[in-house]
Each structure stands twice: as structure tokens, then as C-alpha cells.
Amino acid sequence: MDTRLMIRGEPGDTRVLRRAFGTFATGVTVVTVGGDTPHGMTANSFTTVSLDPPLVLICVGREAVMHAVLCDQGSFGVSVLAADQGHLASYFADRNRPLGPEQFAGVACQSGQLTGAPLLVGALAHFECVVRRTYEGGDHTIFLAEPVSLHRCADDQALLFLNGRFRQVESERSEATT
């Protein structure tokens, strides 16, 4: 069975494309906004762009609730999840969760000092970011942002997403040198 996606000609099967994209392991984050309508969503489309000036980006589907909230807010928080926080990644990926403050009921967070975005306790790192530019990217918008506050919280293992599942890096194994 040929599972290649043809770039030219007829559009290919998006399931094949999703499986191919899924072979690239990514970190997992929860992106949040504060304000009167706090909201959070799981995202593996967070990446660094530049050290000078410091820039990051996130990609958000235009149909996602987060898209409209983020466009209105203009700032967001990012919690980089630790390997033992898969339950939080699943929780914030669930589109049936309540919106607003109820979404954060029972979730240990602290408010970002500059953006007010909820930041998840136990995360490896927190970033508070201000959107500087947006770009259209297919069915998503690319939000280019400047981190205005950051805190590295822990040196633990990161939660990863690979082939449609949450994973973690195996502990390093010492290799025999004899």
C-alpha cells in the first residue's frame, strides 16, 4: 500500500499527512490566557525562533476557541510540561471542558506577573509572552511573540508527543566502555 502524499495533482489523504507529521517528536505545552475569560489549550506547536531579540511562536487553529481569545488578549502564557504531566496535556486538549475560570478548577496554577495568564505548577518552564505579529498559515495563525518573563522551574524530563501519543525520553543508559 502506497501511503505517500502526492504534493502535485490531486490532494492527498490528510490522515497520511498527519501520520507523517507525527513522526517528528515535539515537546508538549499548555498555552493559557488570563483576563476575564481565562482559557488554556494543549499545544505542541510552540517553538523558539530567535535569541536576539528573544522570540517564540505558537500556531493556533482558526477554529479553536483559543484563537479568538488570544487575538483579543494579545498576550499568553506557556507552561512546558514535565513527563509526569500527561494528565494535564489530556485535560487541556479536551474540547468539552468548560471555558473560563471553571476550566482551571482543581488545576494547580499561579498567575503570571505580567500577563495574568495561568501558569501550571510543576511545569519545567514558564513563559509569559506578548504577541508582536501574526501570520496566516493554512488553517492556523502563527503568533510570533516576545517572551517578557520566563522562569526555568525544574530540570526533570519533558513530556513528548510522538506518533499520536504522549511519551517521555528513556533514562540515559551508561554504555560499556570495555
Beta strands in the chain (DSSP E): 26-27, 29-33, 39-43, 46-51, 54-61, 75-80, 109-111, 118-120, 125-137, 140-152, 159-162, 165-168
pLDDT at 1: 46
pLDDT at 11: 56
**What is the distance between the alpha carbons of residues 34 and 111, in angstroms, rounded to a whole number?**
8
**What is the distance between the alpha carbons of residues 88 and 95, in angstroms, rounded to a whole number?**
13
- Model's pTM, two decimal places? 0.86
Q: Does the pLDDT value for residue 164 go beyond 70?
A: yes
pLDDT at 175: 52
- 106-116: average pLDDT: 94
- Tens digit of each residue's pLDDT (9 = 90 or more) over 11-65: 566 777 777 777 777 789 999 999 888 999 999 899 999 999 999 999 999 999 9
- Average pLDDT of the chain? 86
pLDDT at 73: 92
- Tens digit of each residue's pLDDT (9 = 90 or more) over 118-134: 999 999 999 999 999 99
Q: Does residue 96 or residue 6 have the better pLDDT? A: 96
C-alpha cell at 90: 489530556
pLDDT at 84: 94
CA-nearest of 20, 51, 121, 26 to 79 is 121
Domains of the chain, CATH where assigned: 26-161 (2.30.110.10)
pLDDT at 13: 66
